[in-house]
A and B are shown apart, each in its own frame.
Chain A
């Protein structure tokens, strides 16, 4: 029986599909305290693991005494590297082709490094036991500055690499050198500089920061010795990769390893890596035959799992006298800490840093990144960005401002002059990226008009002319392009697995559906967004489409969620899986209506016979037929799987403008206005997109204005609690104004490009641009982050403008 006749518009509205700001399907559990995060999981007989960590940054372990800890009632085991050695698990491979100590093997390389683990009945006893483990160290000289680490007589940090003259990314030129990675054409770039009318250069430091999601990392590992099966609930942005690695490390067949990422309390890159704590909890469960839980505390999280950035960058631009950029050169010293545990595609030890030519048509460019060991925690994750894109965008946007100042040109004008023009897309950059689509000028004009840019500049000129003005006013402008959606498997892999992603959709007999994905949401709203894509593709209301992710025993293999890859890669997999189902549904509908397939039109939720509105079959009716009585020659059922290997990256862009007022007496900065225009191609759920942008801007604000991980000379991290590490509250966080243009990606099945990281990547240089602009009339061309009140006050004083 057909449903009551409704207009196509009414039926489309009822689907709540693509383009609709439908409310989130996942919220009901979160607002009622029924989320299911790792630390919420309890298993019968579960034990708790805690970690003994190094108080010093560099030293030899003389001895470890477990006796007092083992004597505490309720303590089951204390394990050190020597206990893991027979299992060959005291070291593990990193995603970057290096090895990292699981538990310190004879030597500690950074403060808070994992030295021993204790397993006890509850977390209180485990904490007592950690205090009772006695470790004696013989201290060694500490190396914190990556430039000093490369001096000929610098202390050797990695004894285990002695004599290794090459690493995963080519020759090693020094005992603390990891790799040197180049992109672009050095000869062409050098030639551009030789012939340049104008040259500018700038050194800048992008501080070491931490993604600091509100939920720390942790897991519950449960090995069943009878079945030989391992189940691990884990805070992972990439559960399938974890399964592969765990299988490789443990020797348990991958079919007997089940990794589950349950609800994740924010990731932002912190939950991509595979950390010693996870490995130790798994080993403990295998050794003891009982479930073992490990959850970091906040100090452990900031100190040991996944820092980001720490790039010392030198940029140079060559240009014509009227401001056309002719060349770009970049040299980076990258502080990777004690082990190279960056989370980047295998072939790219500096990630996608070579997006550093930005939104500009630069004919010749070259970059070189040198990775260096120091006595700091390993990491180098993409903190809400796609593999070092944040560092690259910061560099190029700062350099364009520096050039504009040198030439006394307006920031907007110099950008417009150098933009890749709309008609140049698809555009191949000097570094070899093929930019898919863009229309930068239209977006820039929209922003300049919205904020009355000329009016702002006039106001600024008036303020500068007034010696009694209590504030310095700065205007920041950034016109950035990101590279996301990693990535084509011909270029991108993690441990040899191509960076595709996947989707399996099943339509049930009564017309509802389930989709299972290789990605995992950490707050991005996948359960809603993905359901909306299917709703539009297949004419099934998003309300009755379930989306499941994160359980490797049910979901198809995928590379996970980071680098803004979910919509660009998995979103495409959904669309193409749905289209396979659609093609089969069309055959069934044609059979039901007794017409040729070509005589059918698709309209919202039904196949209609051309020219006869009364003759149609809805997708729900087709689904029933598929299970009830499919046409001869067709398999029963209505489902499909698609693995999507993207042909290219996607290139979302944005134009951000910020106005700051700096208090000349205190150095405190008020963000008067922040206007963010994003172009992420096709927009699936505008409400969710806007929420992602608010969040990304706020994290960008945090990085630019306050986040840093400072160390003292002994290698003690001075800010590893939320007392010291800056997470903005309601009060400091600015009000965000958002806007958009839509330039679809031509190679993506939906035209979508990905969005959640753009606001982080784009906002950070915007804040710096505004802060420097406030001082520009005094000759300042750059100042390093973070722009906290004390550091800014020092600049006010240095420039003689403090009150």
Chain B
């Protein structure tokens, strides 16, 4: 199948690759770029294990074509920490036991990352609705809610220079 050249900025680095038009973004990330953090759980946009951030929006990469990302900025879980310092959502999931098997975690983290920019000071109910596109089979969500609350609090703390 004829390939198409695309340029995508992934985690701050420009990637120029030739891809088949039918290549899904999740496979582009996992197999072309070896970014295996995002996972495939359902192939139907229901579970959210494949969630990444594209140009400031949460996107389920299992139903998104790589060619749709030409010229876009993509952030994956691998780009969340900054020079070895964990992002507040990563710290929150660790401190509040917000993960068990870890399979949904990269998608959860990326959704939480975007959600807390959409709503920096959410109620529990708002967290539950704002994160509802991501499924977890292990935790029962209660500790993920706490993890997001932890991150919200941390992100609102004044930055010490």
Contact = CB atoms under 8 A, between A and B. Distances in A.
B47 A691 contact: no
Interface residues of B, number: 58
Contacts of B109: 31
A297 B47 CA distance: 13
Top 9 A-B pairs, shortest CB-CB distance: A33-B37, A265-B103, A523-B101, A30-B102, A694-B140, A523-B100, A698-B140, A722-B46, A33-B77
Nearest to B86: A31
Query: Interface on chain A toward B: helix, strand, loop, or mixed SS?
Result: loop
Interface in A180-229: 212-216
A662 to B, nearest CB: 21
A31 B142 contact: no
Contacts of B43: 297-298
B44 interface: yes
A27 to B, nearest CB: 5
Interface string B4-29: 00000000000000001011000100
Interface of A: 23-24, 26-35, 37, 39-40, 42, 122-124, 212-216, 263-266, 268, 297-298, 522-525, 687-688, 690-692, 694-699, 721-723, 727, 729-731, 733, 735-736
Contacts of A735: 142
A666 to B, nearest CB: 19
Contacts of A298: 41-44
Interface in B37-63: 37-44, 46-47, 49
B36 interface: yes
Contacts of A522: 101
A730 B129 contact: yes
Given A23-B95, A33-B38, A721 B105 contact: no
Given A33-B37, A523-B101, A731-B128, A214 B140 contact: no
A695 B42 CA distance: 20
Given A31-B94, A37-B103, A215-B103, 6 more contacts: A32-B80, A40-B30, A214-B41, A215-B39, A696-B140, A733-B141
Contacts of A265: 39, 41, 101-103
Contacts of A26: 102
Contact of B37 (A34, A297, A697, A727): A34
Q: At the interface, is chain B mostly helix, strand, loop or mixed?
A: loop
Contact of B137 (A524, A695, A731): A695
A730 B139 contact: no
Contact of B100 (A37, A695, A733): A695
Contacts of B47: 214, 722, 727
Contact of B105 (A31, A40, A122): A31
A56 B26 CA distance: 31
A723 B46 contact: yes
Contacts of A697: 140
B139 A695 contact: yes
Given A212-B137, A214-B49, A31 B93 contact: yes
A741 to B, nearest CB: 21
Given A213-B137, A730-B145, A733-B140, A523 B78 contact: no
Given A31-B86, A31-B109, A691 B143 contact: yes
Q: Which among B35, B97, B106 has the highest number of chain A CB atoms within 10 Å?
A: B97
A38 to B, nearest CB: 11
Interface in B85-131: 86, 90, 93-95, 97, 99-106, 109, 127-129, 131
Q: Which of B38, B90, B103 has the most CB of A within 10 A?
A: B103
B143 to A, nearest CB: 6
B78 A37 contact: no
Contacts of A731: 128-129, 132
A760 to B, nearest CB: 11
A214 B97 contact: no
A733 B141 CA distance: 8
Contacts of A687: 97
14 contacts: A30-B105, A32-B80, A39-B30, A40-B30, A42-B34, A213-B103, A214-B49, A215-B101, A523-B102, A698-B137, A723-B46, A730-B127, A733-B140, A735-B142
Nearest to A34: B37
A35 B42 contact: no
A443 B68 CA distance: 58
